[in-house]
């Protein structure tokens, strides 16, 4: 009799455990499926939104062009990284400007991404900030302070002292916020140095891309 009761209790316990395992498995499967479905539906809209944002920024840092810079790009390989370099071209297919994203690693709150548009002569056409975590009202002047952004236009390595005024350079710092503009100025200067070193190669690569796209055209 007692043996029967003990066996019944054991069987009940085993059944409860089994039900718990089944319930947990079901919850896990449902949660994973929901995550998968959410990812499926959001991935493409997110990609489209990022592309639209990049397109808007490219239009702001490049001169007028007849091509689609977001698609007309070469890929620069350096230090294990692939960096897209976007091109602006005139009606003859000549490159009129290059644009790429530089990263300033030393912002007040981490990295700042900067889209730099530069002319083949080595002068800045324009810059725009594409990502940052700087403090609203302090460091985020790098996004909203148009005169500060416009000060970069036409600047070259030779015609400018590439530092904030506090450090003896030509660029304004912001009131109570020197770290952010200092980081941006330094990253843009490095971008200009990169361009100066690699200008010939970049122009060659861009010309080759153009030849390839000409070859890719089907005879009409």
Ligand X SMILES: Cc1cc2nc3c(=O)[nH]c(=O)nc-3n(C[C@H](O)[C@H](O)[C@H](O)COP(=O)(O)O)c2cc1C
Query: Which parts of this chain interact with ligand X (CB under 6 A)?
Result: 108-109, 134-135, 138-139, 173, 176-180
User: Phi first, then psi: what are they for 83, rounded to 5°?
Assistant: -110, 120
Q: Which is nearer to ligand X, 139 or 191 (CB)?
A: 139
Q: Which is nearer to ligand X, 63 or 110 (CB)?
A: 110
Q: CB of 136: closest distance to ligand X in angstroms?
A: 8
Q: Which of 87, 15, 95, 24 lies closest to 58, judged by CA?
A: 87
Q: Which is nearer to ligand X, 96 or 180 (CB)?
A: 180
Instruction: Judge whether 195 and 127 are in contact, CB under 8 Å.
Output: no
Q: CB of 94: closest distance to ligand X in angstroms?
A: 40
Q: Which is nearer to ligand X, 58 or 177 (CB)?
A: 177
Q: CB of 185: closest distance to ligand X in angstroms?
A: 12
Closest residue by beta carbon to ligand X: 139
- Where are the extended beta strands (E) located within the chain? 73-78, 81-89, 95-107, 110-118, 124-131
Q: Which of 54, 60, 91 lies closest to 73, judged by CA?
A: 54
Residue 76: both structure tokens together: 């620069």
Q: CB of 190: closest distance to ligand X in angstroms?
A: 19
Angle at 180 between CA 178 and CA 183, to 5 degrees: 105
What is the number of helices (H) and of strands (E) in the chain? 4, 5
Q: Which is nearer to ligand X, 164 or 202 (CB)?
A: 164
DSSP code of 89? E
Q: Which of 93, 169, 175 lies closest to 141, judged by CA?
A: 175
Q: CB of 155: closest distance to ligand X in angstroms?
A: 21
Q: Which is nearer to ligand X, 83 or 143 (CB)?
A: 143
Distance of CA 114 to the CA centre of its chain: 8
Q: CB of 183: closest distance to ligand X in angstroms?
A: 8
CA atoms within a 13 Å half-sphere pointing along the CA-CB vector of 4: 1
């Amino acid at each position: 009799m007692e043996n029967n009761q003990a066996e019944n209790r054991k069987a009940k316990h085993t059944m409860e455990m089994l039900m718990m395992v089944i319930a947990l498995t079901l919850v896990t499967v449902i949660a994973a499926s929901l995550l998968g479905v959410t990812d499926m539906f959001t991935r493409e809209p997110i990609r489209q939104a990022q592309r639209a944002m990049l397109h808007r920024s490219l239009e702001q840092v490049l001169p007028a062009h007849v091509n689609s810079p977001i698609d007309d790009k070469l890929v620069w390989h350096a230090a294990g990284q692939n960096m897209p370099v976007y091109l602006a071209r005139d009606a003859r297919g000549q490159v009129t400007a290059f644009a790429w994203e530089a990263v300033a690693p030393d912002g007040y709150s981490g990295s700042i991404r900067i889209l730099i548009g530069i002319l083949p002569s080595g002068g800045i056409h324009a810059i725009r900030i594409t990502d940052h975590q700087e403090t609203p009202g302090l460091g985020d002047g790098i996004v909203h302070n148009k005169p500060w952004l416009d000060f970069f236009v036409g600047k070259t390595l030779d015609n400018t002292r590439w530092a904030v005024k506090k450090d003896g350079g030509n660029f304004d710092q912001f009131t109570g916020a020197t770290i952010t503009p200092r980081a941006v100025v330094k990253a843009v200067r490095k971008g200009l140095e990169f361009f100066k070193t690699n200008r010939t190669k970049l122009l060659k690569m861009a010309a080759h891309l153009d030849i390839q796209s000409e070859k890719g055209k089907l005879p009409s």
